[in-house]
Chain A
Amino acid sequence: MPSDDPASFEWISDCDTLYVRGSWTTTALSQAQRGLAGLLIASSRLTVDGRDLTGLDTAGALLLCRLLQGLRGEGKQVRVSGLDERRAELLRLVEAKLVDVIPDFAPVGKPGALQRLGKAAWETGAQTYATLSFAGMTFATLLGSLRNPVRFRWRNLLGVIENDGVRAMPVLGMLSFLLGVVIAYQSGIQLRLYGGNLYVVDLVTITVLRELGPLMTAIVVAGRSGSAYTAQIGTMQVTEEVDALRSIGVSPMELLVLPKVLGLILSLPLLTMFSNLLAVFGGMVMAAGMLDVSFEAFVRRIPEAASINSLLSGLGKAPVFAMVIAAVGCYQGFQVQGTAESVGRRTTTSVVQAIVLVIVVDAAFSVAYSALGI
């Protein structure tokens, strides 16, 4: 049984002997380890005496070996004595193992600034290339499956529509309703000052239909489904299920990606419409409560406030958002490499990238619409 009296040592210069004492075991070693760093020995011949040791394990033996190596490295003659047979054997074993240490054993040093910059640049380039390749591959597979619709995984498609479309309705509905309430409230305060209460209809419907409805839906779906896609495909990647699919002759593209892309392309416009309805309804409730605009007056005003173009220009963005979310989610999933940590990192990246891209695409749409005069 190892006793836990800390490891220690004492240098007695009269008899040129270094006595090691106490328990030289992993948990009791730290004090001696620090002390040895400051040890100065002048003699060129010495004995290391271990008769007072109460314990020795491999970590202690290692420290002892390092000590001996250091002393011998300075050209001193060192003799070890007083170890019982088992401990001497352990010391020999550790010494023998240390001979195997080869130079390239040292850990790789921290890379310099230039190396890091180069690596980051290279990785960004490779990432962009890979994303584009993935988009191209998705599109090619999509075209291929359009020619051969029987092979398409309709069941998976329905699953995606249910999980990512229908089940998103409660949370999306609530958020949209609150969004409508907030817009009506904020604009209502200003409008009331000018007595233009009825214009709340214009503000609410146009902002919701053109911008906030589609954007809100895309962000909710990116957070809800994009992350799920990455985690699902990523975990399958870790457990080699993706490779198993390939080996059976099923293209992971066809089975995992296409139903998701197509499912979202179908669901997102519908969800957007749902979001529009609830946001406008939220605005109506607020307008009735705060601005004395009755439901009837609100609804009658809508056709004058917003044209069908407002609605369509909003809904038109939804399929593009859907493609971005599904593609980013799936792509990041396939990028997972082997570890649990990688799944987590890729899932984060997937959500962040999807939301950023959705907003960038939205801005591009605004520019295009204004150029086209829609």
Chain B
Amino acid sequence: MSAAADHLVELAGIRTCFGRSCIHEDLDLAVRHGEILALVGASGSGKSVLLREMLLLQRPSAGTVRLFGEVVDGRDEPAANRLRRRIGIMFQQGALFSSLTVIENIAVPLKEQTDLPASTIDDIARLKLLLSGLASDAANKYPSQLSGGMLKRAALARALAMDPDLLVLDEPGTGLDPVGADDLDELILDLHESLGLTVVMTSHDLDTLWRVSDRIAFLGEKHILASGTIAELSRAEHPQLRAFFQGPRGRAVRGGSWNRG
């Protein structure tokens, strides 16, 4: 296996422009097999856009996106779909279909992309529900009847429906109380370990970053300013990194630093 084959995602020379303003210039990033990579940066630094490009939902103005070792041409929809199937996404707001129950939401990818009988799909969907830590009585509820934490878990269950190789989480902890966010961190670590998932996430939450991430890529000045473990980055001298990791919040978290066992 070459070094490149060990990378699930490779972004090279990415440039993203909206009209005249460019938010990424000559950006390189690789996601290694089996790691939890956190994408960090100030609001508006283009984290979500970068995720969308990784998921082939948006084409960069220049540069190449390589998924699972394949270069993706944005115009080749069938090929893109085949690759997307191997990625599970949890959107920031959940993006569950509001007219379907939780269990039906989880079953949607299975129904669309496999020819398994309905009873088996139902069985698989229920397993995913349990894996994402929801109680079984949530199955027949509609998204509007769920709390914020349950919504996130249901969205996670749908992201896991196809047993993806790569799980993408956009701001997983946003809108959750500290206990809920801790539980979700725990769940992500659990799934990472038991299912061997590679995870890419964006987050502002320093607690989550300390606890969950193997590696952090810091997005600033239109490219990846630095990448490394959080301990390395929090010692960095760059003013943006210092502001992020060594501001009052950063220090508070570090004081009671999380230990990843």
A positions within 8 Å CB-CB of B: 1-2, 25-27, 29-30, 33-34, 57-59, 62-63, 66, 86, 89-90, 93-94, 97-98, 100-102, 104-105, 107-108, 337-342
Contacts and interface: CB of A to CB of B under 8 A. Distances in A.
Interface string B119-159: 01011101110110000110110111100000000000000
B116 A29 contact: yes
B163 interface: yes
B126 A339 contact: no
Contact of A59 (B139, B163, B194): B163
Contacts of B224: none
Which 4 residue pairs of A and B lie closest in terms of their CB atoms, listed nearest first?
A: A338-B144, A57-B163, A341-B99, A339-B98
Nearest to A92: B194
Interface string B196-233: 10000000000000000000000000000000000000
B136 A26 contact: no
A49 B130 CA distance: 27
B115 A30 contact: yes
B113 interface: yes
A58 B128 contact: yes
A27 B194 contact: no
Contact of A30 (B114, B128, B162, B165): B114
Nearest to B136: A105
Contacts of A86: 196
Interface string B86-113: 0000000000001100010000001001
Contacts of B245: none
A309 B95 CA distance: 59
Contact of B142 (A59, A104, A339): A339
- Interface majority SS on A: helix, strand, loop or mixed? helix
18 contacts: A1-B68, A2-B165, A26-B163, A29-B114, A29-B120, A57-B195, A58-B163, A58-B195, A59-B127, A66-B123, A90-B194, A104-B136, A104-B137, A107-B140, A108-B140, A338-B98, A338-B142, A338-B145
Given A26-B114, A63-B120, A90-B195, A58 B131 contact: yes
B85 interface: yes
Given A58-B131, A101-B126, 16 more contacts: A26-B114, A26-B163, A27-B114, A30-B114, A30-B116, A33-B120, A34-B117, A57-B195, A62-B124, A63-B120, A66-B123, A97-B127, A101-B130, A104-B137, A105-B126, A338-B145
Contact of A100 (B99, B116, B130, B163): B130
A57 B194 CA distance: 11
B111 to A, nearest CB: 12
Nearest to A344: B99
Nearest to B120: A33
Contact of A337 (B137, B144, B162): B144
Residue of B98, B131, B139, B163 with most partner-chain A CB within 10 A: B163
Contacts of B123: 62, 66
Contacts of B120: 29, 33, 63
A248 B49 CA distance: 36
Contacts of B165: 1-2
A33 B98 contact: no
A8 to B, nearest CB: 15
A30 B128 CA distance: 18
Given A25-B163, A27-B162, A101 B142 contact: no
B166 to A, nearest CB: 12
